[in-house]
Amino acid sequence: MSSKVPVDLMPISEEGPSFIRGPYTDPFGIPPGDFKQPTVPTESIPENFDASDPVQKFAGIGLEIASVVIGNVISHPCIVIRRQCQVNRKAAKYHLSPFTLIPVLMRLHSRQGVSCLWKGCSGIFILRGCSIVLETFLAEATPFPREVFSNSSLKQLSQHLLLKLISFGILTPFYCASLVETVQSDIASEKPGVLDCLKEGVCRLLKIGTPRSTRLLPMWQLVGPTAVFGLSTYVLSSLIQSVLHWFRNLKLRNTQRKTLFEYQSSQSSTAKYLEDLSIQYFSSFIASIVMYPAETMLHRLYLQGTRTIIDDLDSGTSVLPVISTYEGFVDCFHTIVNEEGASGLYKGFGALLLEYAMQALLLKAAQVAFREIESMFKPAKKPVSEPIPSETT
């Protein structure tokens, strides 16, 4: 047996919640890495725990795949609709509820086909790879750690957050290019190529390529808000995740009166994975709600001056250009509140609710499916044979 065990098998700490626990998917669609806690020695593991159980391995692989599908494929149409609502300052319908989006989605599907809800998907996956490569490079070229643990020093934690801040800032022009791919209408513009996200990001950074409006904000004005927004969402979601894990473990200790090892060794592997996924998605959901107004403002600043044409989600049958004259982040906030009201900061919020409702539904379906599969692989209990009475002589 290995000398270390996964973080999920750690005993409950009574010192309080660790600062951060992950992973999660941030609003840019980029997973910013894992926050891990330290491993524990083998002596603390119960003898009846089998880390090589094929059922546990199968459940782990299956649920990891399910997590990727839910977070990056199934949710993408909701991301497209949400972003189109956010950048449309002239929209009369704010779509604060998922129910108002259903007829619009039906009209979009009948007019443009199902592909209109999957635009920009390739760009998000490319940004995922760029983020991982960039963070790995920064971690190798600097003393900044790409991962931190619950016993990491304050200096290591600060360096790690600085690495994240730099990464978000460097990728800002590519976030802008990815947003354009996600919201532009298919019937009013050419479909982008697979690598156009990278090409347009470089063009945006160097101010070359397709002529753009003079209202286009310089990149230096967007780097700061992007980095702060990305880091704030990252820390908030991770903090919520850490607190939920700590309270869950504390509750287990108080109610079960046994160690976390004993509980998890007797708990279904499917239940353990799904419980962690549920905490992960719930934390991301709360962070998305808190940071939603900032995301709306940031997306509008990204799109200003790009001459992008989007679908009109008031009707679902027409298109319209995105025209704005914001001078910066603060001016964007005041203009939205004055012209559209405070609820204008939450345009498209119904799509966010729909996205996480779909995730919850799919997680429940995965729970039922893997529970059935797990029961098929469990060995049947052998009947206890009665002792044969000895013959008396």
61 belongs to a structural domain? no
Q: Residue range 326-347: average pLDDT?
A: 94
pLDDT score at 377: 66
Average pLDDT over residues 8-31: 41
Q: How many distinct structural domains can be found in the chain?
A: 1
Report which residue type is found at 171. Answer: L
- Calculate the alpha carbon distances from 159 to 18, 33, 56, 156, 205 in Å: 17, 14, 35, 5, 26
Checking if the pLDDT of 45 tops 70, the result is: no
Instruction: Give mean pLDDT, residues 269-282.
Output: 76
Encoded tokens for 277: 């996924």
> Cα dihedral sign for 333, 339, 342, 345?
negative
What confidence tens digit (pLDDT) does each residue in 340-358 have? 999 999 999 999 999 999 8
Residue 200 three-state SS: helix
Q: What is the mean pLDDT of the chain?
A: 77
pLDDT (0 to 100) of residue 17: 38
Rounded to whole angstroms, the Cα distance separating 176 from 46 reads 51
Q: CA-to-CA distance for 117 and 182, rounded, in angstroms?
A: 9
Q: For residue 49, what pLDDT is reported? A: 40
Burial of 102 (0-12, 13-18, 19+ CB in 10 A): exposed
The whole-angstrom separation of Cα 255 and Cα 243 is 18
Q: Is residue 355 part of a domain?
A: yes
User: What pLDDT score does 354 carry?
Assistant: 92
Residue-range definition of the domain harbouring residue 289: 72-254+269-373
| pLDDT reported for residue 60 | 61
195 Cβ contact list (under 8 Å, min separation 6): 126
Asked if residue 256 lies in contact with residue 36, where contact means CB atoms within 8 angstroms, the answer is no
pLDDT at 122: 84
Residue 42 counted as domain residue: no
pLDDT > 70 fraction of the chain, expressed in percent and rounded? 71
pLDDT of residue 232: 95
Q: Which one has a higher pLDDT value, 98 or 2? A: 98
Domain for residue 59, yes or no? no
Residue 193: predicted pLDDT: 73
Is 223 a domain residue?
yes
3 belongs to a structural domain:
no
CATH code assigned at 217: 1.50.40
Average pLDDT for 55-74: 64
Is 2 inside a domain boundary? no
- The pLDDT of residue 31 is 41
Asked if the structure places residue 142 within a domain, the reply is: yes
Most confident of 30-39, 125-134, 255-264: 125-134
- The residue that leads in pLDDT, 194 or 385, is 194
Give the count of beta carbons closer than 10 Å to the beta carbon of residue 370: 22
Contact (Cβ atoms closer than 8 angstroms) between residue 303 and residue 322: yes
What are the pLDDT digits (tens) for 207-239? 776 556 678 888 999 999 999 999 999 999 989
What the block records as the tokens of 22 is 């992950």
